[in-house]
Amino acid sequence: MMKVLVTGATGFVGKKLASELVKRGHTVSILTRDRQSARKRMPVECEIHQWEPELYPPTSDCFEGVDAVIHLAGANIADGRWSESRKKSIKDSRVLSTRNLVSTLKSLQKPPATLLSASAIGFYGNCKPVELYESLEPGHGFLADVCKEWEHEAFIAKKHNIRTIALRIGLVLGYEGGAMKKMIPPFWAGLGGDLGDGTQWMSWIHVKDLVDMIIHSIENKSIEGSYNAVSPEPVTNKIFTKCLAKALKRPAFIPVPKIALKFILGEMSDLLLGSLKVSSKKILESGYNFKYPDLMSALNNICKNPTNEFMAEHWIPLPIDKIFSFFKEPKNLEKITPDYLNFKVLNQTSTEINEGTKINYRLKLHGIPIWWQSKIVDWEPNHKFSDTQIHGPYNHWYHTHEFEEKNGGTLIRDHVQYKLPFGIPGDCVAGSWVKKDLENIFDFRRKKIQEIFKDQILETTNSESHQGN
């Protein structure tokens, strides 16, 4: 197992990557601008270090014991028109951050063995009529120039005996972020259609394959240099449009003319109108097997079960039986829920909580009174239980509480899968708002649990201190 340091870990890809690394047994450390926000979103086992990537190199102590660095930091290129200031931000967040990162790496007496840096298929330009391989020279245009400089800064690490990899990432597909977050709403509303003449090639990758490919790359020492991170089956925009409409069971007959995209988006329209047919041959030859090699399987996975996920972790230095005893009492939920929710447990169908127990609650969501009924399932005392919504504000709610003995205490892990009312339109209107609410509620819960158990934690800490003496 490795210790892996990740930049950009709070982004769409980075959050999934960090969770998967932890799941596979790796130790994860992250560099972030906002430590407080990262603590809400990251697995509890992650070390969190402060870093302003465009301003200065990270400190050397961030790399203590680190075996591999995965550099994903970079401003979102699709967040608005490309004004001159926006283009500077896009470039600096990639080129300067990589320069500062490598500056520290090359100064270390014992640097990490591997650096994997994100890049993009924009490296090849935006209108190539041939299949694109890693051996080709960079293209022309703003994104090509950014990617060229971005990779140049990363490969300086190679001169210092650090195995260096650049993944040229295509269009990333996933339900909770990336391009699909912008594509799905108009298509669901029946307003989708070809972009321009629809003949331009689109090279894409499912977010799960990208995460697995990143881990595959750092775990395999033979992988070095530039690799295209795209599926084996690029498609034209016309085919992409047809497949997305089919997955959503919606028509797609409203094309967007090239001139309209140019007028609305300016230079950023190159992202949608550029034609890049990128080969994945090299990464396939390295032994990587795609979970979603074809577009229809990828889009069906994303569109036919559009479930949101939320995860939170909290470690507390107390025995697992004591912590589980607290959580198995529904009334204790009132103590760890913010006052503004006016949360009240009304009754339950059995005196002792067990498999099948139904619990009724009352609360207010943004001032709206809600009656909520949940049912207890997956009941495994001292290990886990789940509550699934029978009646309440969500179309689907499945909250798994897991408890694990770890480092002399208990790791509390909350995993919530949920669907908002009205499905995709509901996500479009309130998705980010609900996710923010959940982050705040579970952050309050974490702090409140520390407060409730502070005397017992202090007692345990003092006892261990005396034993050590």
Q: What are the structural domains, with CATH classification, of the chain?
A: 3-171+204-231+277-292 (3.40.50.720), 308-461 (3.30.530.20)
Q: Which residues contact 91 (CB under 8 A, 6 or more apart)?
A: 146, 149
Cβ distance 394 to 417 under 8 Å?
A: no
What type of residue is 35?
Answer: R
**pLDDT-wise least confident of 67-81, 149-163, 224-238, 422-436:** 422-436
Q: What is the pLDDT of residue 98?
A: 98
Q: How would you classify the pairing of strands 47-50 and 27-32?
A: parallel
What per-residue confidence (pLDDT) applies to 143? 93
Q: Which long-range contacts (CB under 8 A, 24 or more apart) does 107-111 make?
A: 107/57, 107/60, 108/60, 108/63, 111/63, 111/157, 111/160, 111/161, 111/162
Can you tell me the distance from the alpha carbon of 41 to that of 105, in angstroms, rounded to the nearest whole number?
Answer: 26
Q: Is the pLDDT reported for residue 246 higher than 70?
A: yes
Strands (E), 210-307: 225-229, 235-236, 275-278
What pLDDT, on the 0 to 100 scale, is given for residue 427?
A: 82
Of 155-159, 293-297, 303-307, 454-458, least confident by mean pLDDT is 303-307
Q: 234 CB contacts (<8 Å, ≥6 apart)?
A: 170, 201, 202, 203, 204, 276, 277, 278
Q: What is the pLDDT of residues 402-458, one digit of tens each?
A: 999 988 999 999 999 999 988 777 887 788 889 899 999 999 999 999 999 998 888
Least confident of 21-25, 193-197, 263-267, 402-406: 263-267
| Type of residue at 98 | T
Q: What is the 3-state secondary structure (H, E, C) of 108-164?
A: CCCCCCEEEEEEEHHHHCCEEEEEECCCCCCCCCHHHHHHHHHHHHHHHHHHHCCEE
Strands 225-229 and 163-169: parallel
Given a cut of 70, whether residue 333 has pLDDT beyond it is: yes
Confidence band (pLDDT; 50, 70, 90) for 265?
low
* Residue 126, pLDDT score: 82
pLDDT tens string 92-108: 999 999 999 999 999 99
Binning pLDDT at 50, 70 and 90, where does residue 127 land? confident
Q: Does the structure show a pLDDT above 70 at 312?
A: yes
Quote the pLDDT of residue 391: 95
Strand partners, 384: 380, 402
Percent share of the chain, pLDDT over 90 = 69
pLDDT band at 79 (very low <50, low <70, confident <90, very high): confident
Residue 253 has what pLDDT?
A: 79
358: enclosing H helix or E strand? strand 358-365
Read off the pTM: 0.86
When pLDDT is cut at 50, 70 and 90, the band that residue 205 belongs to is very high
Percent with pLDDT over 70 in the chain: 97
Between 45 and 393, where is the model more confident?
393
Partners of 395 in beta bridges: none
Q: What is the pLDDT of residue 465?
A: 55
Q: What's the pLDDT band for 464 if we cut at 50, 70, 90? A: low
Average pLDDT over the chain, rounded to whole?
Answer: 91
* 244 pLDDT more than 80: yes
